[in-house]
Structure formats: C-alpha cells, structure tokens
C-alpha cells in the first residue's frame, strides 16, 4: 500500500485540479504574488543565515525562483540547483555561479551541464532547500508532479526544507500522505512564513 491514508488516485486528481488552478491565475497576479513570496522568504532569518541555498529552477507558471537565484548570486551567496537523472529516478544538486550556465533538461527545465560536479551529502550541511510543489497543507505535506524526485532526495537531506506557495496552492484539508512523503519545515507565502514543524 502506497499511502497511510488516501490513495495515489487521490494524488492524481489533486495534481490535475491544482494544475488547472495554477493555469487559471493571470500572469500579472502571479508575478505580484511571487514578489510577495520572495519578500517573505528574504525576511526569514533561517533563509538569510543559510550557507548554501538549494533551489529548483522555476519553469512555466511555477512560483518564480529565477529572480531569487539572480539576487542571491549577485549578493555572493552560494546557490545549487538540481540535475535530473531519469534512469536512476534521482537528482543531483550542483553549485552554480550564473543562470547562463544552465541548459534545458527534462520537460525543458533548466539544469546544470552534464559535466557539473554534484555536491555530496556532507556538503549540504548548513544549507536550506526550496521545494517545489502544486499544493501543500498545514503540516507541510505536498503533491508535486509525481516523479518522486524530491521525496527520494529529501529522505537523506540534512537541512531545512522551505516550500514556496501562493495562497491558491494551500489546501485547508490534509493531503494524502504516502510512506515516502517528506513534509517541508516551512512554507513561504505572500503573507509570511508558516512553521509546519510539529503540526
């Protein structure tokens, strides 16, 4: 059995629902909500203190991370982004120094070049990870695209996990939880940071 409650069927209908919700948000309100989320994140002491920021590279209507990446690099902060290895159902995080060094990978998502060196787990101590998703609940559980890439990675991740979510991506009902699901610790929203620990 894949889930402690709910089923994978629940997850796929949630996935398609929230994909439609996301598509329906006009570009301008998306941009203003993403700017507020960015401000909440930048004012969050745990994010500010991190020695290294692991982040997805946003594509399409996802909560924007490219302006966050650009800002951090400009300030001399360390940033790493994932490269998907489809055959291994895994992803590696590689440190980057410019958005220009990224190349299109699976689904057209920008990622480090094949020869970029992956960071090892001990090198991730003291980092935070910005986690993508389609919908999140108050305990930090999430539904993503269904590749399981983040759950596999987060199972061994030593740092704090922070989701970026618009209000339209928050579920007031608990989401179905699978045995492999790893909840995030915090959710950065337009109105501030939610602490999901112990909830």
Ligand X SMILES: Nc1ncnc2c1ncn2[C@@H]1O[C@H](COP(=O)(O)OP(=O)(O)OP(=O)(O)O)[C@@H](O)[C@H]1O
3: phi then psi, degrees, rounded to nearest 5: -125, 150
Strand residue runs (E) in 21-125: 52-55, 78-85, 90-96, 103-104, 110-111
- Residue count, binding to ligand X (CB under 6 A): 16
Binding-site ranges for ligand FFO (CB under 6 A): 56-59, 62, 82, 84, 91, 106-107, 109, 132, 144-145, 147, 149-150
Looking at the chain, which runs of residues are DSSP E strands? Answer: 3-5, 52-55, 78-85, 90-96, 103-104, 110-111, 127-131, 135-137, 142-143, 160-164, 170-171, 177-178, 186-189, 192-195
Residue 192's binding partner out of ligand X, ligand FFO, none, with CB under 5 to 8 Å set by partner kind? none
Q: Residue 175: name its binding partner from ligand FFO, ligand X, none (Cβ under 5 to 8 Å by kind).
A: none
Site for ligand X, residues 126 to 155, rule: CB under 6 A: 143-152, 155
Smallest separation, CB 138 to ligand X (Å) = 17
Residue 61 binding: pick among ligand FFO, ligand X, none (C-beta 5-8 Å cut-off by kind): none
- In the chain, how many H helices and how many E strands? 5, 14
SS3 117: coil
Beta-bridge mates of residue 91: 84
Nearer to ligand X, 73 or 170 (CB): 170
Q: Kindly state the smallest distance separating residue 163's Cβ from ligand FFO, in Å.
A: 11
Closer of 82 and 159 to ligand FFO (Cβ): 82
Can you name the residues that pair with 80 across neighbouring β-strands?
Answer: 54, 95
Report the residue number whose CB is nearest to ligand FFO. 147
CA distance 44 to 96: 23
107 binds, among ligand X, ligand FFO, none (CB under 5 to 8 A by kind): ligand FFO
Which residues make up the interface to ligand X (CB under 6 A)? 2, 11, 143-152, 155, 178, 180-181
């Amino acid at each position: 059995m894949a889930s402690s409650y709910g089923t994978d069927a629940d997850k796929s209908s949630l996935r398609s629902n929230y994909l439609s919700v996301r598509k329906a948000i006009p570009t301008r309100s998306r941009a203003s909500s993403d700017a507020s989320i960015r401000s909440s994140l930048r004012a969050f002491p745990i994010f500010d203190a991190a020695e290294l920021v692991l982040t997805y590279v946003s594509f399409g209507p996802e909560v924007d991370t490219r302006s966050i990446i650009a800002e951090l690099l400009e300030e001399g902060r360390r940033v790493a982004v994932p490269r998907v290895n489809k055959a291994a159902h895994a992803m590696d995080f590689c440190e980057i120094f410019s958005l220009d060094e990224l190349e299109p990978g699976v689904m057209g998502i920008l990622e480090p070049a094949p020869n970029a060196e992956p960071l090892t787990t001990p090198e991730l101590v003291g980092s935070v990870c910005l986690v993508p998703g389609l919908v999140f609940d108050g305990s930090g559980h999430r539904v993503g695209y269904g590749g399981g890439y983040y759950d596999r990675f987060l199972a061994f991740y030593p740092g704090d996990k922070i989701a970026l979510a618009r209000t339209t991506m928050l579920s007031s009902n608990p989401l179905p939880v699978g045995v492999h699901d790893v909840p995030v610790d915090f959710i950065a929203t337009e109105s501030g940071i939610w602490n999901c620990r112990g909830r």
